[in-house]
Chain A
Amino acid sequence: MKKYNNLVKNSLGRLVPTEVNGNPAIPYQGVGKYKPSGRKYAPPISSCSDYPDDGNKLVKDLKEALIKSGLKDGMTISTHHHFRNGDLISNQIFDIAHELGIKDLRWFPSASFPCQEPIIEHLKNGTINRIEGSMNGALGKFASEGNMKGLGVLRSHGGRYQAVQDGDVHIDIAVIAAPSADAFGNANGVNGSAACGLLGFALADSQYADRVIVVTDNLVPFPCIPWQIHGNYVDYTVLVEKIGIPEKIISGTTRITKSPDRLLIAEMTAKFCDEVGIVKDGFSYQAGAGGTSLSIGIYFAEMLKERGLKARFIRAGSNKYPVQMLEDGLVDYILDGQTFDLEGIRSMRENPNHINTNPFTSYNYHGKGNFSTMVDVVVLGATEVDINFNANVVTHSDGYLLHGIGGWQNCLFSKCTILPIPLFRDRIPVIKDEVTTICGPGELIDVIVTERGIAINPLRTDLLEKVKNSNLPIKTIEELKTEAEKICGVPDKPNLSDEIIAVIKWVDGTVIDSVRKVEKS
C-alpha cells in the first residue's frame, strides 16, 4: 500500500493526495462547499445476552481486555488526551500489542503528548503503522523526518468526531482511561486522583467503536455518577493501580502570564473587542488556557465588572479565572471542553452552570449546526499567518510538526476570530507570503493582533468601519509583514522535500493541505 497517491491541487492551490493510506481522500473545496450524502456510520448491534446481568464487565487486566476485544494486525486503536502529559495508559496498550506480536496498528488519539515519546519505538518496530492525531515534540520530529511507515492524518477535535461519525475512521478498539468508573463501564472525569474534569474527547469513541474498554484506578459501585461515558457502550472494564500522574494532568493553580509583551497583546485584543462593540451584556467568548488568551479573559472580566454587565457564556478550556467569573456572577454559563486546573474540576463537580461539553455539541461540522458559530469572539494562536490571512497552527516555520489542530479549526467559525500573536518569535516573523501549512482559510480569520499593530481582514469591512476613528494601531497585514522583515531580515524558505508525510483535514473531512518531509541539514 502506498502512503499516498494521485496529487491534485485543492481550491486553495495546495497539492494534496486523493488517496491516503489506501483510502480515497477528497480535496478541500472551500468553506461549506463539500456536502457528503448517505447515512452515518453505525457500530455493530449488540445484545444484552452477551453481557453479564450483574453489570460486572471487569476483566483481569488491560492485556486480557485487548485480547478479548480481538486485537489483531492492522486495527485502529483510539485513546483520548484528557490526561495530557500525565497519561499512563496509551503507551501500555502498544507495549502489550508489541508483546503479542501485533503489527501495523493505526493509533487514533484525540491528541498526543511528550509523555508518549516511547510510541516511537513501536513506530520503528512495526507495531504501529501510523498516528492519526496530533504529533508534537519527538513524535513530530520523527514523523516530519519521514520515518513513519504510514501517512499521518491530522484532524481538529470536531473533525475527529466527524470522521468517526461519518465512517471515515472505523475504530476497532477504543480504550478510555477514566478517573472514575463502575464495573459496568459508566465513567466520569470529575472524581478520583486522576480527575481531569470531563471525558468529552472520548464520546465518539464510546459511541462508534466496535469494542470499548474503560480503564480506571478508581472503581466505584454502580452507579458511577455523573455518567459522562455510558456503560451501555462499554464491553470491558479494567481496574489498574494508576492511570495518570495528577500533577501532569492538571495544574494545582493557573497563573496568568508575566510576560509584558503577551500582556500588551492581550490588552490590545481586549481593547479591540471593546472598540468594535463585542463586549456587551449577554456576549460570549472562547478563551483558551494559554498565557495570552487567559489574560484577555481577565481584561474582559474587568470590563464587565466595571460596567455592571454579564456575559452569557464562556466557551472554555476552564481554569480558576472563568470559574471565578461564574461565581462572581459575571457570566451565566461555562461551556467546558477540557478542564485545566483544580478549581475548574471543583466547579465542574459542584456547579450546574459549569457544563460538560464534547466535540459533538461544540464542533462537529456534520451535524445540524454546532455552537462554535454562536460564539461572539474567539482568540486563538497560530505559528504563521499569510498575507491572505490563511493560518498555520501545526508546523513550525522550519517545517517540523509542532502542534495539533485541537479545536482551532472549529473555533474559526465564530462571529469574530482573532489571532493575538507576536510579530516575530526569536527572529522568526509570523506573517509570511505563504504559510508552511494551511490549517485554516483566511476568509474565516478576521483579525491579527500583534504588539506592533492590528491587521483586520479586508473582508471584514464592518470591523474596519468600526475602528476608523479609534486610536488603535490599525495597519495592513502587508505593513506588519514588512515591519517584521525590517527587524528580522527576510527569511529563507525551509528546506522541505516534495515527499508528503501527513495531511491536514478540514472540518468536513476534505484535505486542506499536505505536510512535507523536512530535509535534515
Chain B
Amino acid sequence: MKQKISTSGNKGLGIRSDCFITIELTDKPGISIALNSKVNALYGNPIKELVKEIFNFFDIKNSKITIEDSGALPYIIAARIEAAIKQLFETKKEFLPEFISNNKYHTNRERNRISRLYLPGNTPRLMINAGVHKPDGIILDLEDSVAVNKKAEARLLVRNTLRQLDFYGAERMVRINQIPIGLEDLDYIIPHNVNLILIPKCENAKQINLVNEKISELNKDKKTKNPIWLMPIIESAKGVINAYEIASASDNVVAIAIGLEDYTADIGTKRTNEGTESFFARSQVVNAARAAGVQAIDSVFSDVGDMDALKENVKKSKALGFDGMGCIHPRQIRVIHENFAPDEIEIEKAKKIVIAFDEATEKGLGVVSLGTKMIDPPVVKRAQNTIELAISMNKLSKDWKTK
C-alpha cells in the first residue's frame, strides 16, 4: 500500500464534463459513496453502479469515495476513479470501457492532413464535440498541455477517450512526450487503435526507431495490425538540420511538422506573425519532407481570435509548400481548410493539365503538351494532386471530366 487517500480529476469554476474523485481507504469493510453531481437527478444511480463495478474489478472492499461531478461521461468518471485507485495500489489491471465500433477504422498514408486539432489530454470538456467540427485529425495531447502532476491521470483519460469518444472519421492522433520519456505513453495508446503518433522535439532518426521498436513489442501478439503512422515534430535547430534524416527514418513516417514556439526559443529569437525568423527552418522542413516523400505540416497559429491574421498565415504557409497546419481552436479549422484548398485558378489550370495528360496517354504519346508548352511529369503529378484535393474538399465534382 502506497498511501491512504488519493485524488484525481478536476473541479471548480469553469470545469464541466469532468469530476473530482477522492478515495480514502478505511479500516472497516464496506464501500461508502458520497456523490455530489450536477446530473444527480438523472444519472445518480448509474454513477453509483459504475463505482461499484470498478471497485469490484479492482477488488477494493473497504473505502470511502467522494465524487464531485460536473456532468462527466461514464468513461471519464471511470478514468478518474482508476487514476485515484492506482495511486493507492500497484496493479497492472486496467478497467477498459467498451471500444465503440465507430472507432475501428484505420487511415491511409496519403490522406489529407490539412488541419489537426490539438486537445489538452486532461480536459474532457474540449474533447467531447471535437469531431463534429470535422478536422482531418484530432490530437489528444499528453505533452505540453498536461501538467506534470496530472500526467498519470491524463494517460488513462486519453486511453478511455480513444476507446469511447466518437472521432467521426478524423484521424485519431496522440502527441506523446519527447523520447525517451514518451515511450511509456505508448502503453496507453497503442492497444487502443491510435492512427498516428506525434513525436515532439524530435532531433534524430534514433528516436523514431525507439518508438517503432516499442510499437512492435506492444503489438507482437496482435493478429491484425492497423498501421500506426508517425509525425515527428521538429522544434530545435538540431532537428531542422536533421530534418531529412528524420523524415526518411522509417516507412511509417507520413509527415513531419514544425513547432515554432520552441524552435524560435532554441535559436534565441521571438516568434513573429511575419515569420521571417523561421523562414529557413520552414523551408528546410518542406524541402526535407518533399525529398523523403512525406507531408510537410506547419506550426499552429496561436491567436485564436484573429481569423484574418490566421488566413494570411495559412496563405504564406501554402506558398512555402506546406500541406497542412495545426490548430488549437475548432474555429480555425474552416479557415485553414479554405485557404489551403486550391483556388479556382489553380483548379482550372490543373483540369487542363490532367485532360491534356489523359489525351496524350490515349494517343500513346510520351510527351504531354498544353498549347505549345511541354508539361513535365512532376507538373502532371501536382495537377492530379490538386484535383484530388479539390474533390475531397467539395470544390470540384467527382465526375468533373464528364460534366
A260 within 8 A of B: yes
Within B57-86, the residues touching A (CB, 8 Å) are 70-74
A489 within 8 A of B: yes
Option from B38, B129, B305, B394 in Cβ contact (under 8 Å) with A426: B38
Chain B residues with CB under 8 Å of A425's CB are: 71
A487 within 8 A of B: yes
Chain B residues with CB under 8 Å of A489's CB are: 43, 46, 74
In this complex, what residue of B is CB-closest to A429? B42
In this complex, what residue of B is CB-closest to A267? B334
Option from B43, B73, B329 in Cβ contact (under 8 Å) with A260: B329
Q: A264-B133, A264-B330, A489-B46 are in contact. Are A427 and B41 (CB under 8 A)?
A: no
Contact A492 B132 (CB under 8 A): no
A61 within 8 A of B: no
C-alpha gap A427/B128 in the complex (Å): 10
Contact A492 B72 (CB under 8 A): no
Contact B330 A492 (CB under 8 A): no
Chain B residues with CB under 8 Å of A326's CB are: none
C-alpha gap A512/B42 in the complex (Å): 24
Contact B330 A399 (CB under 8 A): no
A488 within 8 A of B: yes
Option from B17, B44, B73, B331 in Cβ contact (under 8 Å) with A263: B331
Number of B interface residues, CB 8 Å? 26
Option from A264, A451, A487, A521 in Cβ contact (under 8 Å) with B41: A521
Within B212-253, the residues touching A (CB, 8 Å) are none
Option from B17, B330, B331, B394 in Cβ contact (under 8 Å) with A427: B17
Contact B73 A261 (CB under 8 A): no
A277 within 8 A of B: no
C-alpha gap A399/B46 in the complex (Å): 19
Chain B residues with CB under 8 Å of A253's CB are: none
C-alpha gap A398/B70 in the complex (Å): 15
Contact A492 B133 (CB under 8 A): no
Shortest distance between the CB of A263 and any CB in chain B (Å): 6
Within B157-171, the residues touching A (CB, 8 Å) are 166
Contact B16 A426 (CB under 8 A): yes
Q: A487-B73, A487-B166, A488-B73 are in contact. Are A427 and B132 (CB under 8 A)?
A: no
In this complex, what residue of B is CB-closest to A425? B71
Q: Mark B258-300, 1 if CB is under 8 A from A, else 0.
A: 0000000000000000000000000000000000000000000
A495 within 8 A of B: yes
In this complex, what residue of B is CB-closest to A489? B46
In this complex, what residue of A is CB-closest to B329? A260
Q: A260-B329, A264-B330 are in contact. Are A451 and B42 (CB under 8 A)?
A: no
Q: Mark A258-274, 1 if CB is under 8 A from B, else 0.
A: 10110110000000000
B145 within 8 A of A: no
Option from B39, B41, B71, B129 in Cβ contact (under 8 Å) with A261: B129
C-alpha gap A452/B134 in the complex (Å): 11
Chain A residues with CB under 8 Å of B40's CB are: 398, 521
C-alpha gap A426/B17 in the complex (Å): 6
C-alpha gap A258/B307 in the complex (Å): 12
Chain A residues with CB under 8 Å of B331's CB are: 260, 263
Q: A426-B71, A489-B74 are in contact. Are A398 and B129 (CB under 8 A)?
A: no
A43 within 8 A of B: no
Shortest distance between the CB of A448 and any CB in chain B (Å): 15
Q: A426-B70, A427-B71 are in contact. Are A264 and B132 (CB under 8 A)?
A: yes
Tell me which of A263, A425, A487 has the highest count of chain B C-beta atoms within 10 A of its own C-beta: A487
In this complex, what residue of B is CB-closest to A451? B132
C-alpha gap A260/B304 in the complex (Å): 11
Tell me which of A425, A426, A427, A428 has the highest count of chain B C-beta atoms within 10 A of its own C-beta: A427
C-alpha gap A495/B394 in the complex (Å): 49
Chain B residues with CB under 8 Å of A487's CB are: 73, 128, 166
C-alpha gap A399/B39 in the complex (Å): 12
B45 within 8 A of A: yes
Chain B residues with CB under 8 Å of A397's CB are: 41-42
C-alpha gap A398/B41 in the complex (Å): 6
Q: A260-B331, A426-B39, A521-B40 are in contact. Are A492 and B45 (CB under 8 A)?
A: yes
Chain A residues with CB under 8 Å of B133's CB are: 260, 264
C-alpha gap A493/B43 in the complex (Å): 9
Within A457-504, the residues touching B (CB, 8 Å) are 471, 487-489, 491-495
In this complex, what residue of A is CB-closest to B129? A261
Number of A interface residues, CB 8 Å? 24
Contact B329 A428 (CB under 8 A): no
Chain A residues with CB under 8 Å of B74's CB are: 489
Chain A residues with CB under 8 Å of B44's CB are: 492, 521
In this complex, what residue of B is CB-closest to A265? B132
In this complex, what residue of A is CB-closest to B168? A452
Chain B residues with CB under 8 Å of A495's CB are: 41
Tell me the dominant secondary structure on chain A's binding face: loop
Shortest distance between the CB of A302 and any CB in chain B (Å): 13
In this complex, what residue of A is CB-closest to B50? A489
Chain A residues with CB under 8 Å of B17's CB are: 426-427
C-alpha gap A428/B42 in the complex (Å): 8
Contact A428 B73 (CB under 8 A): no
Shortest distance between the CB of A98 and any CB in chain B (Å): 34
Within B116-147, the residues touching A (CB, 8 Å) are 128-129, 132-133
Q: Mark A386-399, 1 if CB is under 8 A from B, else 0.
A: 00000000000111
Chain B residues with CB under 8 Å of A451's CB are: 129, 132
C-alpha gap A461/B16 in the complex (Å): 39
Chain A residues with CB under 8 Å of B38's CB are: 426
Q: A260-B330, A264-B132, A426-B16 are in contact. Are A491 and B43 (CB under 8 A)?
A: yes
In this complex, what residue of A is CB-closest to B332? A260
Shortest distance between the CB of B293 and any CB in chain A (Å): 33
Q: A260-B329, A263-B331, A487-B166 are in contact. Are A398 and B132 (CB under 8 A)?
A: no
Shortest distance between the CB of A423 and any CB in chain B (Å): 9
C-alpha gap A58/B330 in the complex (Å): 58
Q: A260-B133, A427-B72, A427-B73 are in contact. Are A398 and B330 (CB under 8 A)?
A: no
Tell me which of A399, A426, A452 has the highest count of chain B C-beta atoms within 10 A of its own C-beta: A426
Shortest distance between the CB of A5 and any CB in chain B (Å): 29
Tell me which of B17, B41, B71 has the highest count of chain A C-beta atoms within 10 A of its own C-beta: B41
C-alpha gap A327/B55 in the complex (Å): 64
Contact B41 A452 (CB under 8 A): no
C-alpha gap A149/B240 in the complex (Å): 75
Shortest distance between the CB of A455 and any CB in chain B (Å): 15
In this complex, what residue of A is CB-closest to B331? A260
In this complex, what residue of A is CB-closest to B134? A264
Contact A427 B39 (CB under 8 A): yes
C-alpha gap A398/B40 in the complex (Å): 8
Chain A residues with CB under 8 Å of B70's CB are: 426
C-alpha gap A428/B39 in the complex (Å): 7
Shortest distance between the CB of A513 and any CB in chain B (Å): 19
Chain B residues with CB under 8 Å of A399's CB are: 41
Shortest distance between the CB of B187 and any CB in chain A (Å): 27
Shortest distance between the CB of A259 and any CB in chain B (Å): 10
Q: Mark A439-458, 1 if CB is under 8 A from B, else 0.
A: 00000000000011000000
C-alpha gap A359/B45 in the complex (Å): 45
Chain A residues with CB under 8 Å of B329's CB are: 260
Shortest distance between the CB of B166 and any CB in chain A (Å): 7
In this complex, what residue of A is CB-closest to B75? A487
Chain A residues with CB under 8 Å of B43's CB are: 427, 488-489, 491-492
Within A57-89, the residues touching B (CB, 8 Å) are none
C-alpha gap A426/B42 in the complex (Å): 11
Chain B residues with CB under 8 Å of A261's CB are: 129, 132, 330
Q: What are 9 residue pairs bridging A and B, where the CB atoms are less than 8 Å apart in the complex?
A: A261-B129, A264-B132, A398-B40, A425-B71, A428-B42, A452-B132, A488-B43, A489-B43, A494-B42
Starting from the known contacts A426-B70, A492-B44, 16 additional A-B residue pairs (CB-CB under 8 Å) come to A258-B305, A260-B330, A261-B129, A261-B132, A264-B133, A264-B330, A398-B42, A427-B72, A452-B132, A471-B394, A487-B73, A489-B46, A491-B42, A492-B43, A494-B42, A521-B44
The 5 A-B pairs of least Cβ separation, nearest first, read: A426-B71, A398-B41, A260-B330, A491-B42, A427-B71
